[in-house]
Amino acid sequence: MNENPLILEMRGITKEFPGVKALSDVTLEVTRDSIHSICGENGAGKSTLMKVLSGVYPYGSYDGQIIFDGREMKFRNIKESEQAGIAIIHQELTMIPELSITENIFMGNELTKSGLIDWNEQRRRTVELLKKVGLSVSPDTLIKHLGVGQQQLVEIAKALSKNVKLLILDEPTSALNEDDSANLLELMRGLKEKGITCIMISHKLNEIAAISDAVTVIRDGQTVESYEVVAGQVDENKIIKSMVGRSIENRYPEHTSNPGEVIFEVKDWCVEDPEVEGRMVCKNSSFYVRAGEIVGFAGLMGAGRTELMRSLFGRNYGIYKSGTIKLKGKEVKLTSVEAAIENGIAYVPEDRKNLGLNLLDSIKKTIVSANMKKILTGGLLDSAKELAASEEYKKALRIKCKDVGVGVSTLSGGNQQKVVLSKWMFTEPDVLILDEPTRGIDVGAKYEIYKLIHELADQGKAVIMVSSELPELLGVVDRIYTIFEGSITGELMASEADQESLMKRMTVTSA
Amino acid sequence: MQKRKIMAMMLSVVLATTTLVGCGSGREGSTNTSDEKKTEATTQDTASDSEGEATETATATEGFEEGATIGVSLPWLGTQNWKEAETMFTEELEKAGYKAIVQAADQKVPQQQQQIESMIENGAKVIVVGPIDGTQLGSVLEKAKDAGVYVIGYDRLIENTAAVDGVVQFGSVRTGELQGQALLDGLKAEKGDGPYNVELFGGGPADPNAPNFFKGAMSVLQPEIDAGNIVIVSGQTEFTQCATEDWDNAKAQKRMDSLLAGNYSDKEIDGVLSPNDGIARAIVTACEDAGQPNPVVTGLDAENESVEWVWQGKQYCTVAKPTQDLVAKSIEIINSLQKGEGMPATDVATDNGKIEVPIYELDPTVVKKDNIKEVFANDPDRMALLKD
Amino acid sequence: MKVIKKVLGEDLRQYTMVLALVVLILVFNIISDGRMLTSSNFQNLLSGNAYVLILALGMLMVIVIGQIDLSVGSVAGFAGMVMAKVAHDFNLNWFVAVLIALAIGALVGAWNGFFLAKLGIPGFITTLGSMMMFRGLVIWISQSISVPAPDELRFFGAGYMPEWGPAFTGMNNSTLLLGIIGIVAFIYFELRKYKHSGEISGQKQPMWAVVTRIVLVSAIIAYFTWLYGTGREGTSFPIPGLILLILVIVYHIITQKTRFGRHIYAVGGNKSAAALSGVNVSRTYFLTMMNMSMLAAVAGILFVGRSTAAGPADGTQWEMDAIASVFIGGAAVSGGVGTILATMVGGMVMAVLNNGLMLMGVGADKTQVIKGLVLLLAVAFDVYNKKTGKASIIGRLFPSKETEKK
């Protein structure tokens, strides 16, 4: 009876939240032993669909049918879906950092012998599982000592320990660097061969294109398209078109910069790692940015891009060792974030939720938070000025919200990023540093952010953009520096660069 | 800017009027208006006029109706005597026809302050106060005075205020005298002829009674010390030297240990003045540990364990301060006030820092092995302890 | 329902705790045959609880930055004791003694702040240490003996505003003036807000709603003016209450209308994000802790004033009362959430409960049980409502001014 070619069928799934229809009549068919990608903008309903599938939303709270492995399933909780052979790996890793790999893998499913944990058996099996996912570390290693990519592999090993038939990966590479991502995709191919079906939710079209056997696109809670593809020959533009419901002829807006004087210049910048004495995270970095110019920084994760930017931004990171900053030709000492802001530097951090926003705050409080001096009246904050300022940015950046008084936590990723950008534009900076400004944002919103960056440059601001997506850098910026292990390894005009030439400089030292 | 100015103006106006305009007359000059509040206030004033004269004998007052509300505020219910007081006050006051509010404050001063205030709100005519800290009730008791309420201190002196009409307590100096006398008697009876080697212990310095106990005891012992019949081997005869912080038994035991180790390696100790039972037992234990023969030790409170020890002869004596007597005396005063006869006469008074407070002193009872069965004849619980 | 919303603002749930307070007062008033709502009882309510409410002001800020201060009781006791000691033993002027007490508060706060802000030791541990230290020091310097305080201090702890002016008002004219100032100020701010309301967002609030709000609030202020003003001759709105009122206004402005206030919420909401927005996190920590201990000293001074003497046990467990008020007022343990006004409502709920139960003659033991239950229920209700997305009882008195914070 297992000769049904479909391992999973979801028919007519409808899920409503108070006031919102998150999913309406969604159909998903997944072929046995395939890699099936689900794409869609943020908020399209991908995660909700997966939560329905894995039993987070129990049977009865949605309409429709789930047929898994030939039988109709009525999961009441995650435990039941796990028993049926469905495992989900979330975007945020759920490992306990202070425990070992073995302990984490068997957390909640400990093997016991006469009431006590059978450590030997657990360890033996962990070694086996780690071999399967291609990880060669001791099973007793603590999770906190693993890199993000390795942790992801342990998550998958954990899923494998439960005899999984269907593995769901929710944006598995969003926190990984290029190498680890490639590794992971390779692993997924291997799993497919071993008879494990994978569903991957991803924004990264190149990854989808590389490994998918089928693609389903969801938009506004509905299935838009679902078709089989041949891995390696996927039409990315077709996917984008169905995701946003319109065709994006060019993913990057046209723009010509008119660079002026050099207004931001860094010389021989050296910063020590605050945790490891003697380890330098920035080594004699020197670069400059002109007014009205957009400069990109390309580097793999851990190359020291973020560390460099944060140390420049009022020594927010690391231990300053040496180096100078010149603003408009004058040397400045920026020993605090406050001083950096006062001198016209703004920094939009890469980790929006943890570093960019206070999720308890409202939109208007966030927008003014980095420059409250501007809304003071007689020494006190003036709520009228605050409202006026935030309404202005709401209009200018087309922030979608009911009211600027609502909390930022109610906004989508793209709109949150617009609020963060507003906050820094409100400080009227001369130099704007954007660290991964489009991470976790859907295609439509990305386009708007790119346009905004161009506008800022047109206003004569110096813009620095850090990104690990090379096409993005090539499409948006004027000039690119590459970073490898804390050193600047190259400088290229965007018009003359391509992905290979950049990657070469990002992985080897030019010396 | 404007907002700040206005705020500042508002505040300064309030402050200015409250401080500067105090010279005006306001409602004080308006007693002849027919506002009923005013009349009420004036009658209260007459009632509280007696404040300063309370030291003299019975001031005739108006009294109050039978069945009036009487408040009793106790410090806590953590020890036997306070729990007894709570039960007795409730029972006895109700038996006498009053409406009783008996509350305990869990050793928290702010709680007791608020309880007293709520008793005033509840229209209490007399409030009996067993203070947690006798110095910290000044302003609330004055509120009581202003509302025409009589304030009677219970067991402990109320200090630092004029708003107290009298205090019912066992004479603390007298208690000390009894302790000193009992120690002397014991030494003569048990240790043959003098001179006797003796050490002295005092109570917690925060308790205003403690120095009085010591004073009383010394009034008996000092002549004997001067005559050479008693030798304080350690030479520590000042209260501050002998005091026991917080009445802490463990601290007393430590002091005794070091006294014995330092002074009695070649002597025997004959007697110890102890201010209460807990400390007495600590002393006896220390002497046992040091291999000393059992000395004559005094005590206070007739705690159950010490009653047993007295019966067994391990502790020479204790002094009983029956709660019953205190409660009975308090109610006697309340009855006198109710009838309009004012505070009963007494010839003892103590300076509490503000006024001379009339003290209604009760005599405690010395309990020794030979009279223990008589003293507790009506106390089945304690009689049960006296097994052979 | 719509009408009510127009008057009170969109967020009705913020009034749940205020409503609970009103119901509590009325119920106790009925049970106690009208002894709750009397001038003298409300005077007692304020004089007797001002010290806790003042501590709660500082504690709110400490909890908003995501810390806790366990040392406030000990610090209050220590400051009060030192004040009484220097006035008594060295015959210093009372005013100098008060200044010394405040300075001690500031110093202790700097001590706590140093360990928290500069060395990064969590506030819980830092202040646990201070709690023990200063409790010990109180006993040490006092030798467990209470010390009488200068008489002038009684004015601050239990005093009243003076009587003056014409007698026909039939009440204490200082209180009357205070009430009138309150009403006038409220009308002024409401009208000003009304004038500005349409300028930016385009929708002006209806005039009748503003008028109703003014009438409602004015009636409440007038009622309390009457209640406090018509007490026994010589009594008025109490001085500790006045001090509290001024502090509440000042701290409301600090937390809602100054950069420092915003920094407190920013640090509590997301420390790293705050640091990257130019907030000096360690300075914010330091100042908040310092402020807390200074308020603790103020509380200690008021209490000594009311008690007429400083005792060795003063301040024991006051921190717990202050913390309870803050949490009943809807603050979050994780920081970033909570307001001064809601904290005051939370504190008053505890105070009224305490007072009402005493009027009913309920003992301290049972009162403790009931207060504990109320704390737990209030917070559980809050958490439950947040989870289900229904009304939250985080009380904010005037949401029309500040609707944004949940």
Query: What are A198-220's pLDDT values in tens digits?
Result: 999 887 778 888 889 999 988 87
Check residue A238 and give its pLDDT. Answer: 81
Q: Which residues of A touch B6 (CB under 8 A)?
A: none
Check residue C200 and give its pLDDT. Answer: 61
Q: What is the CATH number of domain C2-159+238-400?
A: 1.10.3470
| Residues whose CB is less than 8 angstroms from the CB of residue C374 and which lie 6 or more positions away in sequence, other chains included | C328, C349, C350, C353
Q: What is the CATH number of the domain that holds B235?
A: 3.40.50.2300
* pLDDT for residue A104 is more than 80: yes
Q: Which of A314-323, A378-387, B336-345, C106-115 has the highest mean pLDDT?
A: C106-115
Q: Parallel, antiparallel, or unpaired for β A431-435 and A345-348? A: parallel
Check residue B180 and give its pLDDT. Answer: 94
| Residues whose CB is less than 8 angstroms from the CB of residue B388 and which lie 6 or more positions away in sequence, other chains included | none
Q: Which of A393-402, A439-448, A495-504, B213-222 has the highest mean pLDDT?
A: B213-222
ipTM of the shown complex? 0.84
Q: Do A384 and C277 touch (CB under 8 A)?
A: no
Q: How much is the average pLDDT of A324-328?
A: 94
Check residue B21 and give its pLDDT. Answer: 45
Taking the alpha carbons of C71, C76, C80, C83 in that order, is the dihedral positive or negative? positive
Chain A, 353 to 392: residues with Cβ < 8 Å from chain B are 377-380
Q: How much is the average pLDDT of C184-206?
A: 78
SS3 of residue C117 by DSSP: helix
The answer on B296 and B330 residing in a single domain is no
The answer on B358 and B220 residing in a single domain is no
For residues A412 and A448, the answer to whether their CB atoms sit within 8 Å is no
The answer on B233 and B104 residing in a single domain is no
- The domain spans of chain C are 2-159+238-400
**Among candidates C167, C152, C128, C121, which has minimal Cα distance to C286?**
C121
How far away is chain C from the Cα of A398, in angstroms, using its nearest Cα?
A: 16
For residues A282 and A486, the answer to whether their CB atoms sit within 8 Å is yes
For residues B169 and B207, the answer to whether their CB atoms sit within 8 Å is no
The answer on B306 and B198 residing in a single domain is yes
Check residue C339 and give its pLDDT. Answer: 92
For residues A160 and A126, the answer to whether their CB atoms sit within 8 Å is no
How far away is chain C from the Cα of A397, in angstroms, using its nearest Cα?
A: 17
For residues B115 and B75, the answer to whether their CB atoms sit within 8 Å is no
Extract the tokens encoding B114: 């608020």
The answer on B268 and B180 residing in a single domain is yes
Extract the tokens encoding C268: 């509590």
The per-residue pLDDT for range C331-359, each reduced to its tens digit, is 888 889 899 999 999 999 999 999 999 88
Q: Which residues of A touch B5 (CB under 8 A)?
A: 378
Mean pLDDT, consecutive 10-residue stretches, chain B (388 aa), reads 53 50 51 40 41 43 87 88 90 94 90 93 94 91 93 92 92 91 93 90 84 93 93 91 87 92 90 94 92 92 89 92 91 94 88 92 91 86 82
**Could you list the residue range(s) of the whole structural domain that residue B311 is in?**
172-321+366-383
Q: With left for phi above 0 and alpha for psi between -120 and 50, is residue C237 left, alpha or beta? A: beta
Q: Which residues of B touch C232 (CB under 8 A)?
A: 37, 41, 44, 146-147
Question: Hey, how many other C-beta atoms are within 10 angstroms of the C-beta on C62?
Answer: 30
The per-residue pLDDT for range A265-303, each reduced to its tens digit, is 999 999 998 877 888 888 999 999 999 999 999 987 678
How far away is chain C from the Cα of A157, in angstroms, using its nearest Cα?
A: 33
Extract the tokens encoding B318: 């204790």
The per-residue pLDDT for range A56-80, each reduced to its tens digit, is 888 888 999 999 988 888 898 888 8
The per-residue pLDDT for range C255-307, each reduced to its tens digit, is 999 999 999 999 999 999 999 999 999 999 999 999 999 999 999 999 999 99
For residues B38 and B77, the answer to whether their CB atoms sit within 8 Å is no
C-alpha dist (Å) from residue B220 to B77, B180, B184, B364: 34, 6, 8, 17
With vertex at residue C359, the alpha carbon angle to CA C354 and CA C361, rounded to the nearest 5 degrees, is 95
SS3 of residue A393 by DSSP: helix
Q: Which residues of C touch A379 (CB under 8 A)?
A: 258
On whether residue B237 sits in a domain, the answer given is yes
When computed from its CA atoms, the radius of gyration of chain A, rounded to whole angstroms, is 25
E strand or H helix that includes residue A346: strand A345-348
* pLDDT for residue C396 is more than 50: no
Q: Do C265 and A387 touch (CB under 8 A)?
A: no
Check residue B35 and give its pLDDT. Answer: 40
Furthest-apart CA atoms within chain C: distance in Å: 67
The answer on B311 and B337 residing in a single domain is no
Q: Which residues of C touch B26 (CB under 8 A)?
A: 162-167, 172-173
The answer on B181 and B142 residing in a single domain is no
Among B1, B2, B5, pick the best mutation site for testing chain A contact (most A Cβ within 10 A). Answer: B1
How far away is chain A from the Cα of C153, in angstroms, using its nearest Cα?
A: 33
Backbone phi, psi, residue B29, to 5°: -85, 10
Distance, in Å, from the CA atom of B313 to the CA atom of B280, rounded to the nearest integer, reads 13
How far away is chain A from the Cα of B2, in angstroms, using its nearest Cα?
A: 7
Extract the tokens encoding C245: 């009122």
Distance, in Å, from the CA atom of C233 to the CA atom of C171, rounded to the nearest integer, reads 8
Helix axes B209-226, B172-190, angle to 10 degrees: 40
For residues A276 and A460, the answer to whether their CB atoms sit within 8 Å is no
The answer on B202 and B111 residing in a single domain is no
The answer on B376 and B244 residing in a single domain is yes
C108-145 exposure pattern, b = at least 16 Cβ within 10 A, e = fewer: bbbbbbbbbbeeeeebeebbebbbebbbebbbeebebb
Is the CB of B1 inside 8 Å of chain A's CB atoms?
yes
The per-residue pLDDT for range A334-353, each reduced to its tens digit, is 999 999 999 999 999 988 88
Backbone phi, psi, residue A63, to 5°: -105, 155
Q: How much is the average pLDDT of A356-373?
A: 91
Distance, in Å, from the CA atom of C282 to the CA atom of B357, rounded to the nearest integer, reads 55
Lowest mean pLDDT, pick from A92-106, A288-302, B58-72, C238-252: B58-72
Higher pLDDT, A379 or C72: C72
Is the CB of B23 inside 8 Å of chain A's CB atoms?
no
On whether residue B27 sits in a domain, the answer given is no
| Residues whose CB is less than 8 angstroms from the CB of residue C39 and which lie 6 or more positions away in sequence, other chains included | C227, C228, C229, C230, C231, C232, C235
Check residue C116 and give its pLDDT. Answer: 95
Q: Considering chain C, what is the average pLDDT of its residues? A: 88
Extract the tokens encoding C56: 């709660």
Q: Which residues of C touch A340 (CB under 8 A)?
A: 278
Check residue A249 and give its pLDDT. Answer: 57
Q: Return the residue of A nearest to B3 by Cα.
A: A378
Among C189, C308, C357, C371, pick the best mutation site for testing chain B contact (most B Cβ within 10 A). Answer: C308
Q: Return the residue of A nearest to B4 by Cα.
A: A378
Is the CB of A374 inside 8 Å of chain C's CB atoms?
no
The number of folded domains in chain B is 2
Question: Hey, how many other C-beta atoms are within 10 angstroms of the C-beta on B207?
Answer: 22
Give residue A224's pLDDT band: very low, low, confident or very high (50, 70, 90): confident
By residue count, chain B amounts to 388
The answer on B358 and B294 residing in a single domain is no
For residues A82 and A53, the answer to whether their CB atoms sit within 8 Å is no
Interface partners of chain A (CB pairs < 8 Å, 3 or more) are: B, C
| Residues whose CB is less than 8 angstroms from the CB of residue B32 and which lie 6 or more positions away in sequence, other chains included | none
| Residues whose CB is less than 8 angstroms from the CB of residue A97 and which lie 6 or more positions away in sequence, other chains included | A142, A143, A144
Check residue B57 and give its pLDDT. Answer: 43
Q: Which residues of A touch B3 (CB under 8 A)?
A: 377-378, 380
Q: Return the residue of B nearest to A379 by Cα.
A: B1
Q: Return the residue of B nearest to C177 by Cα.
A: B14
Question: Hey, how many other C-beta atoms are within 10 angstroms of the C-beta on C35?
Answer: 18
Check residue A510 and give its pLDDT. Answer: 40
Check residue C199 and give its pLDDT. Answer: 65
Higher pLDDT, C402 or C6: C6
Check residue B11 and give its pLDDT. Answer: 53
* pLDDT for residue A168 is more than 50: yes
CB-closest option in C276, C336, C337 to A355? C276
Among C40, C143, C164, C246, pick the best mutation site for testing chain B contact (most B Cβ within 10 A). Answer: C164
Q: Which residues of C touch B206 (CB under 8 A)?
A: 143-146, 312
Is the CB of C253 inside 8 Å of chain A's CB atoms?
yes
On whether residue B8 sits in a domain, the answer given is no
DSSP B98: P
How far away is chain A from the Cα of C337, in angstroms, using its nearest Cα?
A: 8
On whether residue B24 sits in a domain, the answer given is no
Q: Do B103 and C145 touch (CB under 8 A)?
A: no
DSSP C238: B
On whether residue B3 sits in a domain, the answer given is no
On whether residue B357 sits in a domain, the answer given is yes
Is the CB of B6 inside 8 Å of chain A's CB atoms?
no
Check residue C11 and give its pLDDT. Answer: 57
Extract the tokens encoding B315: 């502790």
How far away is chain A from the Cα of C318, in angstroms, using its nearest Cα?
A: 30
The arrangement of strands across the sheet holding B271-273 comes to: B230-232, B196-200, B271-273, B296-297
Beta strands in C116-234 (DSSP E): 147-148
Distance, in Å, from the CA atom of A81 to the CA atom of A69, rounded to the nearest integer, reads 12
Among A375, A376, A377, pick the best mutation site for testing chain B contact (most B Cβ within 10 A). Answer: A377
Extract the tokens encoding A28: 């998903």
